[in-house]
Amino acid sequence: MANARRIEDCLPPLEDSPAKRFSPAKRKQYFINKAIRNSDLTPRAKGRKSLQRLENTRYLMTLLERDECGSEEGELAHAAAPSIFTEACNNETYVEIWNDFMNRSGEEQERVLLYLEEEAGKKQRRKLPSRNGEPWKEPPAHTPQECFQRISRRLRATLKRGRIPMGTLEGLEEELLAFFSVTPHSVYTALMDNSFERLLLHALCQYMDLVSASSDIEGKRQMKVSNKHRVFLRPELLLSAYLGQMS
């Protein structure tokens, strides 16, 4: 069986230098550095796509920092746990994508990074211990009371005061359920200028065990929601119904 090709073995020679003088690890580091230099890592990055590329570049920096800690070729040392970048080095699918990574759109870059995160997560889950030889399973869904206790104290107090626009809350629930039931590993994004709607979305995400964050995008507030688990588990009782029982 032919050996798997590594990304660094497919990279072109370094500029103005014979390729044979550099190890694959050095060549990989060179191209990461070059990608960072050619990125939008400057204060002028104000547009949505520029900010997305900036975020991707910072992610590349973390990959570089992890790989720099690894041993050089020929050293008789125990190898450190492979980084997310190293995980992709053995996948031929991303050889061409890596070569022109920084020339692609921010959306395409996000898909690459999401793939790497998923692959690293799969490998970590395979290492989880099993009980009585049984394969590892997803934890069961929590009760409505446990889901409600996941919400921060401040948000719980706000929800208990009443006067919650149930129509708005139910609309947000429907959007999140429809989105993560079909694509549990994708990131839900929405522009929300209304501060109370953002508050409801944060509370809803905590109830559903999702991760939410808000940021400024071209003068508007953008919400991003992601799922930290392998699958999306629908709550036994939706937050809107739970609040209805409390009233």
Question: The tokens of 113 are what?
Answer: 């990074």
**How much is the pLDDT for 196?**
92
**How much is the pLDDT for 70?**
47
**How much is the pLDDT for 75?**
42
Q: How far is CA 76 from CA 29, 71, 72, 79, in A?
A: 21, 9, 9, 9
**How much is the pLDDT for 186?**
94
* Nearest alpha-carbon partner for 165 in 196, 202, 191, 208: 196
Q: Give dist(CA 110, CA 187) in Å, integer.
A: 10
CB 25 within 8 A of CB 82: no
Q: Give dist(CA 206, CA 172) in Å, integer.
A: 13
Residue type, 58: R
- pTM of the complete model beyond 0.95: no
Instruction: Give domain limits for the chain.
Output: 7-72+80-126, 144-246
Fold that domain 144-246 belongs to in CATH: Ribosomal Protein S8; Chain: A, domain 1 (3.30.1370)
Q: What is the pLDDT along the chain (247 residues), one digit of tens a residue?
A: 445 444 445 444 544 444 445 566 666 666 666 665 555 444 444 566 666 666 666 666 555 554 444 444 444 444 455 555 665 566 555 556 566 666 767 666 666 666 666 666 666 655 555 545 555 445 545 789 999 999 999 999 999 887 889 999 999 999 999 999 999 999 999 999 899 999 999 999 999 999 999 998 888 899 999 998 888 988 989 999 999 988 7
